[in-house]
Amino acid sequence: ETGVTQSPTHLIKTRGQQVTLRCSSQSGHNTVSWYQQALGQGPQFIFQYYREEENGRGNFPPRFSGLQFPNYSSELNVNALELDDSALYLCASSLEQQETQYFGPGTRLLVL
Amino acid sequence: SQQGEEDPQALSIQEGENATMNCSYKTSINNLQWYRQNSGRGLVHLILIRSNEREKHSGRLRVTLDTSKKSSSLLITASRAADTASYFCATVGLMAGNNRKLIWGLGTSLAVNP
């Protein structure tokens, strides 16, 4: 176990809806990264939060947004859901300056 | 975008055999990491090898790195059914504030048959 938790584990939404996914980082980690992983693919970097600010973003539209709280937990929000947003969403926490990331179990999102 | 490319995409072996997976990447790196993922769950960090290292061991795992060929290999010796999983390589891209993002390959799906 990495100490990183995510909720919910599974979620079903319909096209056009909005969703919020949550992540609690490992104790002492101040950096959270979010990834999208489609079936049979490697993870794609969405963005990273460091000390409550977005600190780098991948090739995702603005309807993907996030927050990091003072306790370093984080949320990923996706507006106007599309069918292609169906995927496993992973968060990973890390220490500043450290390369190794510790992953949560993921949230599996299905958009119908 | 995916930087690492693992091959083979899928590998099926018998318990006790060795499994070798390869990863190629495109840009200069500070380090390369290997992760394991069980059936669509979270990823688990296995081993990190730095650009100035050529080989690293951890238990039954052996990783090599050839920066001139921009490639790495992961060897799992004496495989077990519990090693069945997908294996990904990831390279580190630098962002602001000296934080890093991981750039991932597509993974190798390993099946170890009892």
| CA distance, residue A73 to nearest chain B CA (Å) | 17
pLDDT tens digits for range A24-47: 999 889 999 999 999 888 899 999
pLDDT for position B2? 43
Cα–Cα distance measured from residue A86 to residue A83, given in angstroms and rounded to the nearest whole number: 6
Q: Name every residue whose Cβ is closer than 8 Å to that of residue B12 and which is 6 or more positions away in sequence.
A: B110, B111, B113
pLDDT for position B99? 66
Cα–Cα distance measured from residue B109 to residue B111, given in angstroms and rounded to the nearest whole number: 7
| CA distance, residue B42 to nearest chain A CA (Å) | 4
Q: Is the pLDDT of residue A23 over 90?
A: yes
Task: With beta carbons under 8 A apart, name residues in chain A contacting B31.
Answer: 99
Q: Name every residue whose Cβ is closer than 8 Å to that of residue A62 and which is 6 or more positions away in sequence.
A: none
Over residues A56-83, the mean pLDDT reads 95
Cα–Cα distance measured from residue B50 to residue B65, given in angstroms and rounded to the nearest whole number: 8
Which of B58, B100, B104, B106 to mutate to test binding with chain A, by most A CBs within 10 Å of its CB?
A: B100
Q: Is the pLDDT of residue B101 over 70?
A: yes
Cis peptide before A8 (omega within 30 of 0): yes
pLDDT tens digits for range B11-57: 999 999 999 999 998 888 888 999 999 986 789 999 999 999 999 99
pLDDT tens digits for range B55-87: 999 999 999 999 999 999 999 999 999 999 999
Task: With beta carbons under 8 A apart, name residues in chain B contacting A99.
Answer: 30-31, 33, 48, 92, 100
How does residue A97 score in pLDDT terms, banded at 50, 70 and 90? low
Which of A25, A46, A98, A100 to mutate to test binding with chain B, by most B CBs within 10 Å of its CB?
A: A100
Task: With beta carbons under 8 A apart, name residues in chain B contacting A59.
Answer: 1
Contact A58 B101 (CB under 8 A): yes
pLDDT for position B1? 37
